[in-house]
Amino acid sequence: MASADQLKALVKSHIDRDDGKFYSVAMQVAAHEAKVGHGKLAVELRDMIDAAKSRVLGVGAGQPVPLARPRGEVANLLHVSHPENRLADMVLDAGIHARLERILKEQRMFARIREHGLSPRRKLLLVGPPGTGKTMTASVLAGELGLPLFLVRLDALITKFMGETAAKLRQVFDAVTEVRGVYFFDEFDAIGSQRGLANDVGEIRRVLNSFLQMIEQDQSNSLIVAATNHPEILDYALFRRFDDVIEYHLPTADQAASLIRSRLGRFVPKPFPMKKVTEKADGLSYAEIRRAVDEAIKEALMHDEDRVKAEALGVALTERRQLSKKITNRDSSAHAGTPSR
Ligand SMILES: Nc1ncnc2c1ncn2[C@@H]1O[C@H](COP(=O)(O)OP(=O)(O)OP(=O)(O)O)[C@@H](O)[C@H]1O
């Protein structure tokens, strides 16, 4: 019998018209029934869910995806989108830029590379602090190559019923083979580390081993992109499974200036004391700088002004820094009690 929480979640997802949630809870109920020995009921429930899902148009993003729409159970695990981002939209140091260009070139020529028995680079690990462009990179790769971007939903993949996780991972890797796309595993440390996620360390180890096996065996034409802010807790065995490991960093002063200018567009202040303003961005991520610039643009719009005022931009950046400091302090005090390995 489903738990009270599951029943409540089912009713709530129906009220919210959240199909994805509804199917996910229904699958949990089926898994629970299988676990307590009601195999026939579990199979019936799963069949009903699969049949219902294959009738539904649009997955996750709520957009119909005619050519690359995951079906059946895997639809819950993948959120599909079709980004239009370009490499030129990113502010990057020359090294990362060159590596991404190289990956794109190998992908564009993959038939020729395959003909010679070689494999293009397509398994990538992106590491670096939050807001430095790891997710954006996955979007850019998809956008440049005209491929769908599949975000692997770790919340759906790693359930309370940990025994199911490896089976779900198998479904994701089957999709990787069947539908060419960019498959993005964000917060990859949830799979790639041996600690933190659950008390059941043995189970986490099994999931990690499954991932290692599946990524090693994968010979598809899709790109597999994993990202983490915590490379230090990744299992060492993972690194050699990737064709490239790319390290992202907070922007330098020049990169911050370049992002500010491109984001401001026609709103750029006149005169613009760039150096003075950029100093206020020191220590902020690209994402934080972008948000500060957006705040300043909104301020201008609300005052019916054609341009941002340099002081207003300075204030927005300073506010972001204060916020960022608060978050960092909170995170470090939260981690202070965590025993190290
Ligand atoms: N290198 C960059 N160049 C231009 N804009 C960037 C860059 N990095 C990040 N941004 C801006 O910040 C936003 C958030 O960045 P993104 O989600 O890619 O960061 P992330 O590294 O994946 O962070 P997290 O680890 O928190 O997921 C992007 O959508 C983009 O607008």
Q: Is any ligand 1 atom within 6 A of the Cβ of residue 148?
A: no
Q: Ligand 1 pocket check: which of 136, 247, 294, 328 to mutate, most ligand atoms within 8 Å of Cβ?
A: 136
CATH of domain 253-336: 1.10.8.60
Least confident of 39-43, 182-186, 253-257, 331-335: 331-335
Predicted confidence band at 62 (pLDDT cuts at 50, 70, 90)? very low
Predicted confidence band at 54 (pLDDT cuts at 50, 70, 90)? very low
Is the pLDDT score of 56 beyond 50?
A: no
Q: Is any ligand 1 atom within 6 A of the Cβ of residue 134?
A: yes
Residue 128 neighbours by CB distance under 10 Å: 19
The atom number, within ligand 1, closest to the CA of 228 reads 25
Note if the bond before 271 is cis, omega within 30 degrees.
Answer: yes
Q: Closest residue (by CA) to atom 27 of ligand 1?
A: 130
What's at 265, amino acid-wise? G
Predicted confidence band at 264 (pLDDT cuts at 50, 70, 90)? very high
Residue 219 CA to ligand 1 centre (angstroms): 29
Q: In whole angstroms, what is the distance from residue 135 CA to residue 341 CA?
A: 28
| Average pLDDT of the chain, as a whole number | 83
pLDDT of residue 44: 73
3-state secondary structure 224-266: EEEEECCHHHECHHHHCCCCEEEECCCCCHHHHHHHHHHHHHH
Global confidence as pTM: 0.76
pLDDT digits (tens, 9 = 90+) for 68-103: 566 667 788 899 999 999 999 999 999 999 999 999
Q: Is any ligand 1 atom within 6 A of the Cβ of residue 278?
A: no
Q: Is any ligand 1 atom within 6 A of the Cβ of residue 140?
A: no
Q: Is any ligand 1 atom within 6 A of the Cβ of residue 163?
A: no
Q: Check if CATH label 3.40.50.300 holds for domain 79-247.
A: yes
pLDDT digits (tens, 9 = 90+) for 128-153: 999 999 999 999 999 999 999 999 98
Q: Which two tokens stand for residue 22?
A: 């509804």
Predicted confidence band at 50 (pLDDT cuts at 50, 70, 90)? low
Q: Residue ranges per domain, the chain?
A: 4-56, 79-247, 253-336
Q: Is any ligand 1 atom within 6 A of the Cβ of residue 130?
A: yes
Q: In whole angstroms, what is the distance from residue 231 CA to residue 127 CA?
A: 6
Q: Closest residue (by CA) to atom 30 of ligand 1?
A: 287
The atom number, within ligand 1, closest to the CA of 92 reads 1
* The domains spanning 79-247 and 253-336 adopt the same CATH topology: no
Q: Which two tokens stand for residue 16?
A: 């919210």
Predicted confidence band at 325 (pLDDT cuts at 50, 70, 90)? confident
DSSP alpha helix (H) spans, the chain? 4-15, 19-35, 39-55, 94-108, 110-115, 134-145, 154-157, 165-178, 189-192, 201-217, 236-239, 253-264, 274-279, 286-302, 310-336
Residue 136 CA to ligand 1 centre (angstroms): 5
Q: Closest residue (by CA) to atom 24 of ligand 1?
A: 130
Q: Closest residue (by CA) to atom 9 of ligand 1?
A: 133
> Phi and psi dihedrals of 309, rounded to 5?
-85, 135
